[in-house]
């Protein structure tokens, strides 16, 4: 047992006062004469013993009263831990999980409200002059300081749910920045959360800091959730008046089977498709929403389901482009190639143009998506620079080599891009032996996912160029000959791509341009050359967002604004390899569609969604938390049970206080003295009579 005010123990010397009073009782006696005192002697012996007993009992009651009062003022307590430092200012860092999962409700109401209540109870368990740090998932700069209890309680009221999530390790590190200070030997941290496995428990701290961390769980029941996981298009390019298939993946994290769940697709404010799905408990289901559009350009879309009470992941926003045409350019050494012309005449969306090397204005290459070099080997230095810039800025180039062994200038361009280079001509006949079926260029070309049958008719090659490995990075061999040389290979460079064919399009090089594979390969390359931005981004996007080669007019600046105009800001802009890259710097906190404007002109449309990792509402219960926290030293799971959290904190900070019991004991001893003096004397008087 220890004391908060040990100097009050000197008050025990006051015990001498009642002792002195009882020892030096100078009571004056009067003489009374009786004729016969025999009976009086017997009575005097009896009352003297009673009087001495009464005096001793009263003395004991008074001594015990003084002892109890002195002990109460000294404030004794039984320490509950070794971290209690008496008389010092205590510091408490309190983290309140304000992620979307805390919006779910249980028997005690909304989890976030319960977390706020517990945070307030923790603060009230401390003294008025102690200091506090409030921390949320947002890691706001105003929270990175110590405040008084009153200011802490005011800041607590302003906490609102948000899309940001943090791991235990991140929170612990952030709290350590402030609490690991030798000036605060009595610092402690508190984590109030539902302790979701996919978020806060995704990473535990490696080691404990110089303070104790108390884990405070809220919400005892597991919550089910139905949410849209992701969406994607099967078609590489969306075209006007052609049916597009949108794949929607929906997850059911609950113990219940769900039936006839409506899934709606809304494009530009109009419902364009709807489906109903059945999904079993703890499983995922993919459904297809088909639609077509008659308008080219940017489209704003959202997929919706209905699920209560967790609704932040019931909408999936998307922004995509529908192409009216894809401009392609073939630069021929002399005359156009009939095989290329016939391939790109198959689809009207492909706007194909033939030109010769002499007639080409290389400064206008950026107006095309795909450039094909058909035997064009005598490139000028200016042409090499422009072609390299075209690739680095996102364009695609397909190279069919010259029939003459003259690829020096082409190799210079390939070297500047870090791509493979052409070597000597190999005149040995060969055949395609391996095809990279998993590559997107062969999408929908072969049936099934197994190996290509041995009797399949593959291209036959009479002669071919050898192609070296790239100077930097790796290349993808799309088709490989039986001698191990690549027939068709791909190398990414900058934001674009370079495709190298080992054979020319002449008939004496083999049957590749006449083979059935040639058509789908070239068409897929053309469709893949169409620049497609991601369907969506996550809020709190930290990396840059490419919006293409967009130039500002005059002194204008880009502005990003939400559809309803509630959020508008100027993003940070950088130019990288001719591409305009925007950095949002955490300005976007709400999911939805955002317009990128140059003055009043919309130059691009972006979609943002909340991160789905929090949608998996599986939490650790008290037993699981105890097991997890046993691996992290310096952490204690603080579960309320029958005691309020304020009492648990007060006992851990100040020990188990005993002063109230001593006050009660003092009152009992005072009452005992009163009863003794009243009833014992009365009984003695009756005996005398």
Provide the pLDDT confidence category of residue 446 given band limits of 50, 70 and 90.
Answer: confident
Whether residue 285 is predicted with pLDDT greater than 90 in this model: the reply is yes
- Summarize the confidence of residues 601-607 as an average pLDDT: 91
> How far apart are alpha carbons 112 and 118 in whole angstroms?
10
- Summarize the confidence of residues 275-304 as an average pLDDT: 92
Provide the pLDDT confidence category of residue 279 given band limits of 50, 70 and 90.
Answer: very high
- What is the model's pLDDT at position 220? 63
- What is the model's pLDDT at position 59? 81
Give the pTM: 0.72
- Summarize the confidence of residues 308-325 as an average pLDDT: 88
- What is the model's pLDDT at position 683? 56
- Summarize the confidence of residues 442-460 as an average pLDDT: 74
Q: In the sheet that 537-538 helps form, which strands lie side by side, from edge to edge?
A: 537-538, 601-609, 592-598, 558-562, 568-569
- What is the model's pLDDT at position 639? 73
What are 389's two structure tokens? 């810039």
CATH 1.20.1250.20 fits 225-323, yes or no: no
Whether residue 513 is predicted with pLDDT greater than 50 in this model: the reply is yes
Q: Please choose, from the candidates 614, 549, 552, 595, the residue with its C-alpha nearest in 3D space to the C-alpha of residue 225.
A: 614
Q: Which residues pair with 212 in a beta bridge?
A: 188
Q: Which residue has the higher pLDDT, 482 or 11?
A: 482
Quick: pLDDT tens for 384-406: 999 999 998 889 999 999 988 88
Determine whether 444 is exposed, middle or buried from the number of CB atoms within 10 Å of its CB (0-12, 13-18, 19+): exposed
CA-based R_g, the chain, Å: 42
Question: Quick count: other Cβ atoms within 10 Å of Cβ 169?
Answer: 16
> How far apart are alpha carbons 141 and 148 in whole angstroms?
17
Residue 548 per-residue DSSP state: -
Whether residue 643 is predicted with pLDDT greater than 60 in this model: the reply is no
Provide the pLDDT confidence category of residue 28 given band limits of 50, 70 and 90.
Answer: very low
Q: How far is CA 580 from the centre of its chain?
A: 27
For the chain, which residues make up each domain, given as ranges? 2-79+658-688, 91-222+617-654, 225-323, 326-529, 537-609
Quick: pLDDT tens for 112-167: 999 999 999 899 888 888 899 999 998 888 888 899 999 999 999 999 988 889 99
Most confidently modeled range among 236-245, 547-556, 643-652: 236-245
Q: What mean pLDDT, rounded, does the chain reach?
A: 84
- Summarize the confidence of residues 293-312 as an average pLDDT: 88
Provide the pLDDT confidence category of residue 26 given band limits of 50, 70 and 90.
Answer: very low
Residue 687, φ and ψ in degrees, nearest 5? -65, -40
> How far apart are alpha carbons 195 and 620 in whole angstroms?
6
Provide the pLDDT confidence category of residue 64 given band limits of 50, 70 and 90.
Answer: confident
Whether residue 678 is predicted with pLDDT greater than 80 in this model: the reply is no
Provide the pLDDT confidence category of residue 297 given band limits of 50, 70 and 90.
Answer: confident
Whether residue 595 is predicted with pLDDT greater than 90 in this model: the reply is yes
- What is the model's pLDDT at position 207? 67
> How far apart are alpha carbons 70 and 79 in whole angstroms?
20
Fold classification of 91-222+617-654 (topology level): Rossmann fold (3.40.50)
> How far apart are alpha carbons 683 and 689 in whole angstroms?
10
Provide the pLDDT confidence category of residue 656 given band limits of 50, 70 and 90.
Answer: low
Q: Which residue has the higher pLDDT, 421 or 56?
A: 421
Residue 496, φ and ψ in degrees, nearest 5? -115, -165
State the architecture of 326-529 in CATH terms.
3-Layer(aba) Sandwich (3.40)
- What is the model's pLDDT at position 312? 87
Cis peptide before 309 (omega within 30 of 0): yes
> How far apart are alpha carbons 177 and 625 in whole angstroms?
25
pLDDT over 90 percentage in the chain = 40
- What is the model's pLDDT at position 274? 94
- Summarize the confidence of residues 31-49 as an average pLDDT: 57
Quick: pLDDT tens for 99-110: 988 887 776 678
- What is the model's pLDDT at position 40? 53
Whether residue 523 is predicted with pLDDT greater than 50 in this model: the reply is yes
- What is the model's pLDDT at position 689? 47
Given this chain, do its domains 91-222+617-654 and 225-323 carry the same CATH topology? no
- What is the model's pLDDT at position 209? 62
């Amino acid at each position: 047992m220890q004391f908060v005010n040990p100097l009050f123990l000197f008050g025990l010397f006051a015990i001498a006062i009642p002792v002195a009073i009882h020892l030096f009782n100078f009571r004056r006696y009067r003489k009374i004469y009786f004729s016969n005192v025999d009976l009086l002697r017997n009575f005097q012996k009896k009352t003297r013993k009673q009087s001495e007993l009464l005096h001793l009992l009263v003395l004991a009651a008074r001594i015990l009263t003084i002892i109890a009062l002195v002990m109460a003022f000294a404030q004794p307590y039984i320490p509950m831990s070794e971290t209690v430092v008496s008389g010092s200012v205590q510091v408490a860092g309190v983290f309140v999980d304000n992620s979307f999962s805390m919006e779910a409700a249980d028997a005690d109401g909304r989890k976030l409200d319960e977390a706020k209540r517990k945070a307030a109870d923790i603060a009230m368990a401390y003294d008025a002059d102690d200091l506090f740090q409030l921390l949320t998932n947002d890691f706001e700069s105003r929270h990175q300081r110590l405040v008084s209890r009153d200011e802490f309680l005011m800041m607590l009221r302003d906490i609102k749910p948000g899309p940001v999530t943090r791991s235990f390790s991140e929170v612990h590190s952030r709290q350590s920045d402030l609490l690991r200070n030798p000036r605060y030997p009595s610092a402690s941290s508190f984590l109030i959360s539902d302790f979701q496995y996919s978020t806060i428990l995704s990473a535990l701290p490696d080691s404990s800091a110089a303070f104790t961390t108390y884990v405070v769980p809220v919400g005892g029941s597991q919550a089910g959730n139905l949410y849209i996981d992701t969406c994607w298009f099967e078609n590489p390019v969306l075209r006007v008046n052609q049916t597009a298939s949108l794949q929607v993946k929906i997850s059911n994290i609950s113990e219940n089977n769900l039936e006839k769940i409506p899934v709606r697709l809304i494009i530009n404010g109009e419902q364009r498709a709807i489906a109903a799905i059945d999904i079993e408990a703890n499983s995922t289901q993919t459904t297809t929403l088909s639609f077509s559009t008659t308008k080219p350009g940017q489209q704003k879309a959202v997929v919706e389901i209905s699920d209560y009470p967790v609704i932040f992941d019931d909408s999936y926003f998307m922004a995509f482009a529908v192409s009216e045409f894809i401009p392609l350019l073939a630069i021929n050494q002399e005359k156009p190639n009939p095989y290329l012309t016939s391939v790109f005449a198959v689809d009207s969306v492909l706007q194909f143009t033939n030109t010769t090397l002499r007639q080409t204005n290389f400064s206008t290459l950026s107006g095309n998506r795909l450039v094909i070099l058909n035997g064009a080997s005598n490139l000028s230095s200016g042409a090499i620079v422009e072609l390299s810039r075209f690739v680095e800025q996102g364009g695609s180039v397909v190279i069919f080599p010259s029939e003459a062994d003259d690829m020096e200038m082409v190799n210079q361009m390939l070297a500047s891009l870090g791509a493979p280079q052409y070597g000597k001509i190999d005149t040995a006949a060969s055949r395609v032996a391996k095809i990279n079926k998993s590559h997107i260029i062969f999408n929908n070309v072969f049936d099934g996912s197994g190996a290509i049958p041995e009797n399949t008719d593959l291209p036959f090659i009479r002669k071919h160029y050898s192609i070296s490995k790239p100077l930097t990075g790796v290349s993808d061999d799309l088709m490989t000959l039986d001698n191990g040389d690549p027939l068709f290979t791909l190398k990414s460079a900058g934001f674009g791509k370079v495709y190298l064919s080992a054979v020319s399009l002449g008939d004496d090089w083999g049957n590749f341009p006449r083979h059935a594979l040639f058509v789908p390969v070239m068409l897929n390359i053309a469709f893949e050359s169409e620049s497609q931005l991601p369907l969506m981004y996550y809020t709190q996007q930290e990396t840059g967002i490419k919006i293409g080669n967009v130039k500002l007019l005059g002194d204008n600046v880009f502005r990003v604004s939400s559809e309803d105009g509630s959020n508008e800001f100027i993003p940070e802009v950088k130019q990288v390899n001719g591409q305009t890259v925007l950095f949002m710097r955490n300005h976007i906190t709400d999911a939805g569609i955002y317009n990128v404007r140059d003055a009043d002109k919309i130059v691009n449309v972006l979609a943002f969604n909340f991160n789905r990792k929090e949608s998996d509402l599986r939490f650790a219960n008290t037993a699981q938390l105890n097991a997890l926290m046993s691996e992290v030293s310096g952490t204690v799971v603080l579960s309320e049970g029958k005691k309020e959290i304020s009492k648990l904190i007060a006992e851990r900070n100040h020990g188990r206080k005993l002063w109230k019991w001593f006050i009660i004991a003092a009152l009992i001893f005072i009452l005992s003295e009163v009863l003794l003096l009243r009833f014992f004397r009365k009984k003695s008087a009756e005996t005398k009579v």
